[in-house]
Amino acid sequence: MLKENYKKVRAAIDEACEKCGRKKEEVLLIAVSKTKPLSDIEELITIGVNDFGENKVQELSKKYAEVSKPVNFHLIGHLQTNKVKQVIGKTCLIHSVDSFHLAEKIEVEAAKLDTTVDVLIEVNVAEEDTKFGLKLEEVTALISDIANKCPHVKIKGLMTIAPFVDDPEENRPVFRKLRQLSLDIKSKNIDNVSMEVLSMGMTNDYIVAVEEGATIVRVGTAIFGERNYNI
Ligand SMILES: *Cc1c(COP(=O)(O)O)cnc(C)c1O
């Protein structure tokens, strides 16, 4: 079932790419396995799935330690500074940097290990109170600051969690704004910053996100089914 679900989502992405003249290789599908058992991850690994999304450091660390072969774990949830140390080396990309304070902490820990850490800047495009992330107008200044002062932190692009809406079309302007911002920042050619990655789109709106330029979509429910947070 999981395998079929994954293939369906992948096929829908590929079709959307074709329709809007993008290469399907441009879009990475992350299977968001948060709250789901390791056996679900193992099942998807058998069909070659290599990228999984987790939103909690503890859960990511446990799955990282137990998985039968190395795969990419993306940290997509909010990261507290006191958990930074635990997650470095286990995640291929932190999608949720939203303050200088957090970047600084990553810098210190990465420098200690003589490594670099790839990150995205999380933007709260719709300015929802319930969500983490920067306002659009705060992003460029934060990126310049991190680029100047945190040589071990490599900014690769932007991420957003769009509002939960009934009609995914409602999120099209959100995705469009994030893409425009990434183009604006790219045109500044800031040293140590690349804007290749746009992480946007979830179960309800990933097709619209692909049409608007997403290079990573993060899909949980459409692959693994509903999540149960009470177990
Ligand atoms: C849970 C989560 C997802 C996946 O959401 P679905 O609607 O189940 O596809 C994507 N991104 C983030 C940041 C999440 O926390």
Domain layout of the chain by residue ranges: 2-222
Query: Is any atom of ligand 1 closer than 6 Å to the C-beta of 209?
Result: no
Residue type, position 225, single letter: G
Return the best residue to mutate from 128, 202, 229 for the ligand 1 pocket (most ligand atoms within 8 A of CB): 202
Query: Is any atom of ligand 1 closer than 6 Å to the C-beta of 32?
Result: yes
Query: Is any atom of ligand 1 closer than 6 Å to the C-beta of 199?
Result: no
Given a cut of 90, whether residue 137 has pLDDT beyond it is yes
Q: What is the pLDDT of residue 199?
A: 98
Query: Is any atom of ligand 1 closer than 6 Å to the C-beta of 203?
Result: yes
**What whole-number distance in Å separates Cα of residue 36 and Cα of residue 40?**
7
* Per-position DSSP letters for 137-203, written without gaps between them: GGHHHHHHHHHHH-TTEEEEEEE------SSGGGGHHHHHHHHHHHHHHHHT--TTEEEEEEE---T
**What whole-number distance in Å separates Cα of residue 110 and Cα of residue 84?**
9
Atom of ligand 1 nearest to the CA of 55: 15
CB 213 within 8 A of CB 179: yes
Who contacts 23 (Cβ-Cβ below 8 Å, separation ≥6)? 17
Query: Is any atom of ligand 1 closer than 6 Å to the C-beta of 74?
Result: no
Query: Is any atom of ligand 1 closer than 6 Å to the C-beta of 159?
Result: no
Q: What is the pLDDT of residue 207?
A: 98
SS3 59: helix
Q: What's the pLDDT tens digit per position in 105-123?
A: 999 999 999 999 999 999 9
CB 212 within 8 A of CB 172: yes
Residue whose Cα lies nearest atom 7 of ligand 1: it is 203
What is the mean predicted confidence (pLDDT) over 133-158?
Answer: 97
Given a cut of 60, whether residue 231 has pLDDT beyond it is no
Atom of ligand 1 nearest to the CA of 95: 13
Q: What is the pLDDT of residue 85?
A: 97
What is the mean predicted confidence (pLDDT) over 127-133?
Answer: 92
Return the best residue to mutate from 76, 178, 205, 217 for the ligand 1 pocket (most ligand atoms within 8 A of CB): 76
Query: Is any atom of ligand 1 closer than 6 Å to the C-beta of 55?
Result: yes
Task: Say which CATH architecture domain 2-222 belongs to.
Answer: Alpha-Beta Barrel (3.20)
Atom of ligand 1 nearest to the CA of 218: 10
What is the mean predicted confidence (pLDDT) over 84-110?
Answer: 98
